[in-house]
Structure 1
């Protein structure tokens, strides 16, 4: 995607510390720059889980979770790499080739167990991602519900007008 093309969507940093969830907005620049998202998340000091939910252009979403020595990633639609640099960057970090331009199937790439320790098993995330009638924001709301931060996520979405 060209730099001059605006990318809509939202980015949320999610933190779980001392049994409590917090959701904070991230700069929308991270919707086009995976390195910026990772850097911003690494700046958050927490003894608990820290990850980001990125809704890019209401087309797909990315879960970004820094871990010691790297980052766990999950991209909801591998074909998005054909049109969006951030999706291509995710596949690059995962060392996965982008799909062919004539592929019509939607499939996720990355670690479907990225949030398993927070209450969202791999199989459930796979079901959420595979639901063709849901938009990315709806899928992210389901993720928030399954993990237990639906109230905090909903409040932030209301503030952001999303």
Structure 2
């Protein structure tokens, strides 16, 4: 499996909160990069009247967008083939009830491409960002932030955690 067990998974998790027309980004616990349930639980604990979603960039390989709702959780995995190597991506496909791909050379997303559509990022634009395979996941997340309007907050946040 590669990155399983207890060693920390490289990357970062950010909870993005929109409240009263303002954006803020909070650090997520590193376990969120290893266990999907932990990430979902942490996001559900975030009290907000507005939108709350999580952005996980995992090991410079792929990203996950998670958005809990009262009825469940919407999620997007940028690269389905990551499930062959990373527990959290395998968990994501389990939740989506999708089988992992046979071949890891093809990159395609699984889940809700319209997960952030109500925040200014329609599905076709998110697909375009995912298709930029030369970009690192943190760069793709920056593009997502740009589209939705929280780029400055995300950049400031990443500058503090990636010191």
TM-score by length of 1: 0.96
Find the aligned partners of 2:45 and 2:105 in 1 and give their Cα distance.
Answer: 38
Q: Describe the SS at the equivalent of 2:157.
A: helix
Q: What is the DSSP-based 3-state SS (H/G/I as helix, E as strand, rest coil) of the residue aligned with 1:126?
A: helix
> How far apart are 1:24 and its partner, in Å?
0.7
Write out the 4+ residue segments of structure 1 that deviate beyond 4 Å after TM superposition: none
* Cα distance in 2 for residues equivalent to 1:92 and 1:142: 27
Structure-1 residue corresponding to 2:25: 23
> SS where residue 72 of structure 1 aligns?
strand
> Alpha-carbon deviations, 1:92-112, whole Å to 9, x = none?
000100011x34110000000
2:152 aligned counterpart, secondary structure: helix
Partner of 2:39: 37
| Structure-to-structure mapping, 1:1-162, within 5 angstroms | 1-100=3-102, 102-161=103-162
Q: Distance in 2 between matches of 1:28 and 1:136?
A: 16
Contiguous gaps of at least 5 residues in structure 2: none
Q: How many residues align?
A: 161
User: Helix, strand or coil: the match of 1:74?
Assistant: strand
The whole-number CA distance in structure 1 between the counterparts of 2:19 and 2:104 is: 41
Segments of 5+ residues of structure 1 without an aligned counterpart are: none
Separation in structure 2 between the aligned mates of residue 76 and residue 117 of structure 1, nearest angstrom: 19
Instruction: Indicate conservation of the 8 Å contact 2:80/2:110, yes or no.
Output: yes
CA distance in 2, matches of 1:140, 1:130: 13
Aligned residues: CA RMSD: 1.0
> 8 Å contact 2:82–2:104 — kept in the other structure?
no
